[in-house]
Chains A and B, each alone.
Chain A
Amino acid sequence: MKIVTIKELLEADVVCNGEMLGEEVYSACGSDMMSDVLAYVKDQAVLLTGLVNSQVIRTAVMMDMRCIVFVRSKVPTPEMVRLAEESGLVVLTTKKRMYEACGILYSNGLVGNKVKNV
Protein backbone atom coordinates (compact mmCIF):
# COMPACT_ATOMS: atom_id res chain seq x y z
CA MET A 1 0.00 0.00 0.00
CA LYS A 2 1.34 3.43 -0.85
CA ILE A 3 1.80 5.86 2.06
CA VAL A 4 -0.44 8.35 0.26
CA THR A 5 -3.26 5.77 0.43
CA ILE A 6 -2.73 5.45 4.18
CA LYS A 7 -2.94 9.23 4.44
CA GLU A 8 -6.23 9.26 2.52
CA LEU A 9 -7.82 6.29 4.31
CA LEU A 10 -6.99 7.72 7.75
CA GLU A 11 -7.74 11.32 6.71
CA ALA A 12 -4.30 12.11 8.10
CA ASP A 13 -2.16 15.24 8.04
CA VAL A 14 1.47 15.08 6.90
CA VAL A 15 4.00 16.27 9.51
CA CYS A 16 7.21 15.66 7.57
CA ASN A 17 8.82 14.04 4.53
CA GLY A 18 5.66 14.50 2.46
CA GLU A 19 7.71 14.09 -0.72
CA MET A 20 7.93 10.38 0.13
CA LEU A 21 4.17 9.72 0.11
CA GLY A 22 4.57 7.67 -3.07
CA GLU A 23 6.61 4.98 -1.29
CA GLU A 24 5.18 1.52 -0.63
CA VAL A 25 4.74 -0.17 2.74
CA TYR A 26 4.10 -3.90 2.97
CA SER A 27 3.10 -4.44 6.59
CA ALA A 28 1.93 -2.61 9.68
CA CYS A 29 2.19 -2.71 13.45
CA GLY A 30 0.01 -0.88 15.97
CA SER A 31 1.37 -0.54 19.52
CA ASP A 32 2.28 1.83 22.32
CA MET A 33 4.87 -0.64 23.64
CA MET A 34 8.07 -0.16 21.66
CA SER A 35 9.56 -3.50 22.75
CA ASP A 36 6.53 -5.24 21.23
CA VAL A 37 7.20 -3.33 18.01
CA LEU A 38 10.85 -4.44 18.15
CA ALA A 39 9.76 -8.09 18.31
CA TYR A 40 8.42 -7.77 14.78
CA VAL A 41 10.64 -7.92 11.75
CA LYS A 42 9.63 -6.91 8.29
CA ASP A 43 10.87 -4.50 5.70
CA GLN A 44 9.11 -1.28 4.78
CA ALA A 45 6.49 -1.23 7.50
CA VAL A 46 4.29 1.46 9.00
CA LEU A 47 3.99 1.98 12.77
CA LEU A 48 0.74 3.21 14.29
CA THR A 49 1.11 4.51 17.84
CA GLY A 50 -0.34 6.83 20.45
CA LEU A 51 2.98 7.14 22.26
CA VAL A 52 4.83 10.43 21.90
CA ASN A 53 8.56 10.43 22.70
CA SER A 54 11.86 10.25 20.82
CA GLN A 55 12.10 6.48 21.29
CA VAL A 56 9.16 6.03 18.91
CA ILE A 57 11.25 7.54 16.13
CA ARG A 58 14.40 5.57 17.08
CA THR A 59 12.40 2.33 17.22
CA ALA A 60 11.09 2.96 13.70
CA VAL A 61 14.61 3.80 12.50
CA MET A 62 16.03 0.57 14.00
CA MET A 63 13.30 -1.41 12.24
CA ASP A 64 13.92 0.32 8.88
CA MET A 65 10.29 1.43 8.88
CA ARG A 66 9.03 3.95 6.33
CA CYS A 67 6.18 5.72 8.09
CA ILE A 68 4.79 6.50 11.56
CA VAL A 69 1.14 7.37 12.11
CA PHE A 70 0.27 9.09 15.40
CA VAL A 71 -3.31 8.25 16.33
CA ARG A 72 -5.81 10.15 18.50
CA SER A 73 -4.51 13.51 17.20
CA LYS A 74 -1.19 13.06 19.02
CA VAL A 75 1.42 15.58 17.88
CA PRO A 76 5.14 14.73 17.83
CA THR A 77 7.59 17.15 19.48
CA PRO A 78 9.92 19.33 17.34
CA GLU A 79 12.84 17.11 18.41
CA MET A 80 10.95 14.01 17.19
CA VAL A 81 10.14 15.71 13.88
CA ARG A 82 13.82 16.62 13.46
CA LEU A 83 14.88 13.00 14.08
CA ALA A 84 12.24 11.72 11.65
CA GLU A 85 13.27 14.22 8.96
CA GLU A 86 16.92 13.18 9.29
CA SER A 87 16.00 9.52 9.05
CA GLY A 88 13.71 9.81 6.05
CA LEU A 89 10.58 8.71 7.92
CA VAL A 90 7.18 9.97 6.81
CA VAL A 91 5.19 11.16 9.84
CA LEU A 92 1.40 11.39 9.73
CA THR A 93 -1.18 12.31 12.38
CA THR A 94 -4.80 11.19 12.37
CA LYS A 95 -7.81 11.93 14.57
CA LYS A 96 -8.81 8.27 14.41
CA ARG A 97 -8.24 6.04 17.42
CA MET A 98 -5.80 3.12 17.29
CA TYR A 99 -8.42 0.37 16.89
CA GLU A 100 -10.24 2.16 14.11
CA ALA A 101 -7.06 3.21 12.27
CA CYS A 102 -5.64 -0.33 12.34
CA GLY A 103 -9.01 -1.78 11.26
CA ILE A 104 -9.27 0.56 8.29
CA LEU A 105 -5.78 -0.29 7.03
CA TYR A 106 -6.23 -4.03 7.63
CA SER A 107 -9.58 -4.19 5.86
CA ASN A 108 -8.03 -2.35 2.92
CA GLY A 109 -5.39 -5.03 2.50
CA LEU A 110 -2.48 -3.95 4.69
CA VAL A 111 -1.95 -6.95 6.96
CA GLY A 112 0.37 -7.36 9.95
CA ASN A 113 3.33 -9.64 10.23
CA LYS A 114 4.59 -12.55 12.25
CA VAL A 115 6.68 -12.41 15.41
CA LYS A 116 9.95 -14.30 15.16
CA ASN A 117 10.15 -16.94 17.91
CA VAL A 118 12.95 -16.76 20.47
Chain B
Amino acid sequence: MSESVTFRFEVDGSDFTSAGQASVLVKKHLRQLGIDPEIIRRVSIAMYEGEINMVIHAGGGEAFVTVSEEDITILLSDKGPGIADIDKAMQEGYSTATDNVRSLGFGAGMGLPNMKRYTDSMDIKSEVGVGTDITMKVNLI
Protein backbone atom coordinates (compact mmCIF):
# COMPACT_ATOMS: atom_id res chain seq x y z
CA MET B 1 0.00 0.00 0.00
CA SER B 2 1.28 3.45 -0.87
CA GLU B 3 1.88 6.15 1.72
CA SER B 4 -0.71 8.83 2.25
CA VAL B 5 -0.87 12.03 4.29
CA THR B 6 -3.98 13.45 6.00
CA PHE B 7 -4.62 17.03 7.08
CA ARG B 8 -7.38 17.74 9.60
CA PHE B 9 -9.08 21.10 10.07
CA GLU B 10 -11.76 22.42 12.36
CA VAL B 11 -14.18 24.75 10.61
CA ASP B 12 -15.45 27.48 12.94
CA GLY B 13 -19.16 27.94 12.34
CA SER B 14 -19.53 31.17 14.26
CA ASP B 15 -17.64 33.54 11.99
CA PHE B 16 -18.39 33.96 8.30
CA THR B 17 -15.41 36.29 7.88
CA SER B 18 -12.94 33.53 8.70
CA ALA B 19 -14.67 30.90 6.53
CA GLY B 20 -12.25 29.61 3.92
CA GLN B 21 -9.17 29.63 6.14
CA ALA B 22 -8.88 25.83 6.02
CA SER B 23 -9.07 25.90 2.21
CA VAL B 24 -6.29 28.48 2.06
CA LEU B 25 -4.15 26.19 4.26
CA VAL B 26 -4.94 23.15 2.11
CA LYS B 27 -3.84 25.10 -0.93
CA LYS B 28 -0.51 25.89 0.78
CA HIS B 29 0.03 22.28 1.89
CA LEU B 30 -0.70 20.90 -1.58
CA ARG B 31 1.72 23.39 -3.13
CA GLN B 32 4.42 22.20 -0.70
CA LEU B 33 3.71 18.62 -1.80
CA GLY B 34 4.35 19.66 -5.40
CA ILE B 35 0.85 18.83 -6.65
CA ASP B 36 -0.12 20.10 -10.14
CA PRO B 37 -1.57 23.68 -9.92
CA GLU B 38 -4.74 22.76 -11.86
CA ILE B 39 -5.44 19.91 -9.41
CA ILE B 40 -4.75 22.23 -6.47
CA ARG B 41 -7.25 24.75 -7.82
CA ARG B 42 -9.96 22.11 -8.24
CA VAL B 43 -9.40 20.73 -4.72
CA SER B 44 -9.29 24.20 -3.12
CA ILE B 45 -12.45 25.46 -4.85
CA ALA B 46 -14.43 22.30 -3.96
CA MET B 47 -13.25 22.46 -0.36
CA TYR B 48 -13.87 26.22 -0.12
CA GLU B 49 -17.49 25.81 -1.26
CA GLY B 50 -17.88 22.97 1.25
CA GLU B 51 -16.37 25.05 4.02
CA ILE B 52 -18.69 27.96 3.25
CA ASN B 53 -21.65 25.54 3.30
CA MET B 54 -20.61 24.21 6.70
CA VAL B 55 -20.44 27.74 8.10
CA ILE B 56 -23.70 28.91 6.49
CA HIS B 57 -25.85 25.85 7.14
CA ALA B 58 -24.27 23.61 9.78
CA GLY B 59 -22.55 25.77 12.38
CA GLY B 60 -19.12 24.48 11.37
CA GLY B 61 -17.60 21.02 11.39
CA GLU B 62 -14.47 19.08 10.53
CA ALA B 63 -12.57 18.69 7.27
CA PHE B 64 -10.08 15.96 6.39
CA VAL B 65 -7.93 16.10 3.30
CA THR B 66 -6.00 12.93 2.42
CA VAL B 67 -3.38 12.88 -0.29
CA SER B 68 -2.38 9.47 -1.65
CA GLU B 69 -0.52 8.52 -4.79
CA GLU B 70 -3.79 7.90 -6.63
CA ASP B 71 -6.04 10.74 -5.48
CA ILE B 72 -6.89 13.53 -3.08
CA THR B 73 -9.89 12.83 -0.83
CA ILE B 74 -11.78 15.61 0.93
CA LEU B 75 -14.14 14.59 3.74
CA LEU B 76 -16.37 17.31 5.15
CA SER B 77 -18.27 16.26 8.25
CA ASP B 78 -20.79 18.28 10.21
CA LYS B 79 -23.47 17.79 12.83
CA GLY B 80 -25.80 20.37 11.29
CA PRO B 81 -29.47 20.07 10.33
CA GLY B 82 -28.80 17.69 7.40
CA ILE B 83 -30.00 18.03 3.80
CA ALA B 84 -33.68 17.12 3.44
CA ASP B 85 -33.68 16.66 -0.36
CA ILE B 86 -30.23 15.98 -1.83
CA ASP B 87 -31.47 15.90 -5.46
CA LYS B 88 -32.99 19.35 -5.05
CA ALA B 89 -29.85 20.66 -3.31
CA MET B 90 -27.80 19.51 -6.30
CA GLN B 91 -29.84 21.68 -8.69
CA GLU B 92 -28.09 24.88 -9.73
CA GLY B 93 -29.96 27.85 -8.29
CA TYR B 94 -31.69 25.96 -5.49
CA SER B 95 -30.73 27.25 -2.06
CA THR B 96 -32.13 27.41 1.46
CA ALA B 97 -29.70 30.19 2.44
CA THR B 98 -31.02 33.37 4.04
CA ASP B 99 -31.05 36.81 2.43
CA ASN B 100 -28.26 37.78 4.80
CA VAL B 101 -26.04 35.04 3.36
CA ARG B 102 -26.94 36.15 -0.19
CA SER B 103 -25.91 39.71 0.64
CA LEU B 104 -22.49 38.28 1.54
CA GLY B 105 -22.09 36.81 -1.96
CA PHE B 106 -23.14 33.21 -1.36
CA GLY B 107 -26.40 31.25 -1.25
CA ALA B 108 -26.87 31.34 -5.03
CA GLY B 109 -27.49 27.59 -5.10
CA MET B 110 -24.14 26.94 -6.76
CA GLY B 111 -22.18 25.43 -3.85
CA LEU B 112 -22.92 21.73 -4.22
CA PRO B 113 -22.99 21.87 -8.07
CA ASN B 114 -19.60 23.59 -7.99
CA MET B 115 -18.22 20.92 -5.65
CA LYS B 116 -19.36 18.25 -8.09
CA ARG B 117 -18.07 20.26 -11.07
CA TYR B 118 -14.52 20.40 -9.78
CA THR B 119 -14.15 16.86 -8.43
CA ASP B 120 -14.07 13.42 -10.05
CA SER B 121 -16.53 11.92 -7.58
CA MET B 122 -18.77 13.21 -4.82
CA ASP B 123 -20.82 11.27 -2.29
CA ILE B 124 -23.29 12.89 0.11
CA LYS B 125 -24.51 11.09 3.20
CA SER B 126 -26.98 13.18 5.14
CA GLU B 127 -29.60 12.63 7.79
CA VAL B 128 -31.99 15.35 8.87
CA GLY B 129 -31.29 16.38 12.46
CA VAL B 130 -28.05 14.37 12.59
CA GLY B 131 -25.59 15.86 10.13
CA THR B 132 -23.89 15.56 6.76
CA ASP B 133 -20.76 13.81 5.47
CA ILE B 134 -19.55 14.76 2.02
CA THR B 135 -16.70 12.83 0.43
CA MET B 136 -15.08 14.21 -2.72
CA LYS B 137 -12.20 12.76 -4.72
CA VAL B 138 -9.90 14.31 -7.28
CA ASN B 139 -7.84 11.77 -9.22
CA LEU B 140 -4.09 12.25 -9.49
CA ILE B 141 -3.54 9.47 -12.03
Please list the residues of chain A having a beta carbon within 8 angstroms of any beta carbon in chain B.
Answer: 32-36, 38-39, 41, 51, 53-56, 58-59, 61-64, 79, 116-118
Q: Which one of B24, B102, B104 contacts A61 once the chains associate, using CB atoms below 8 Å?
A: B24
Shortest Cβ distance from A14 into chain B, in angstroms? 23
Q: Are A118 and B41 in contact (CB under 8 A)?
A: no
Q: How far is the CB of B26 from chain A (nearest CB, A)?
A: 10
Q: Which of A33, A54, A62, A79 contacts B27 (CB 8 A)?
A: A62
Q: Is the CB of A35 within 8 A of B24?
A: no
Q: A35 is contacted by which of B23, B44, B108, B118 (Cβ under 8 Å)?
A: B108
B100 → chain A, closest Cβ, in Å? 12
**What 19 new A-B contacts, CB under 8 Å, besides A39-B114, A55-B105, A58-B23?**
A33-B106, A34-B105, A34-B106, A35-B105, A35-B109, A36-B108, A38-B49, A41-B118, A53-B16, A53-B17, A54-B17, A55-B20, A58-B19, A61-B24, A61-B27, A62-B41, A64-B37, A64-B41, A117-B117
A residues less than 8 Å from B24 (CB atoms): 58, 61
Task: Give the distance to chain A from B88, nearest Cβ to Cβ, in Å.
Answer: 15
Q: How many residues of B contact A (CB 8 A)?
A: 30
Scan residues 94-139 of chain B and give those whose CB is less than 8 A from a CB of chain A. Answer: 102, 104-111, 113-114, 116-118
- CB contacts under 8 Å to A, within B31-67, are 37, 41, 44-45, 48-49, 52
Q: Can you offer 26 A-B residue contacts whose CB atoms are under 8 A?
A: A33-B106, A34-B106, A35-B106, A35-B107, A36-B108, A38-B45, A39-B110, A39-B114, A41-B41, A41-B45, A41-B118, A51-B105, A53-B17, A53-B105, A54-B18, A55-B16, A55-B106, A56-B105, A61-B24, A61-B27, A62-B20, A63-B41, A63-B45, A64-B37, A64-B41, A117-B117
User: Tally of A-B residue pairs with Cβ under 8 A?
Assistant: 75
Give 3 closest A-B pairs by Cβ, nearest first: A35-B110, A58-B20, A34-B105
| Cβ–Cβ contact B52 & A55, under 8 A | yes
Check B41–A36 contact: CB distance below 8 A: no
* A35 and chain B: residue at smallest CB distance: B110
- In the bound assembly, the distance between CA atoms of A102 and B70 in angstroms comes to 41
Q: Within 8 Å CB of B52, what residues of A?
A: 55
In whole Å, how far is A38's beta carbon from the nearest beta carbon of chain B?
Answer: 5
CA distance A58 to B52 in the complex (A): 11
In Å, the complex CA distance between A35 and B113 comes to 10
B92 at the interface (CB under 8 A from A): yes
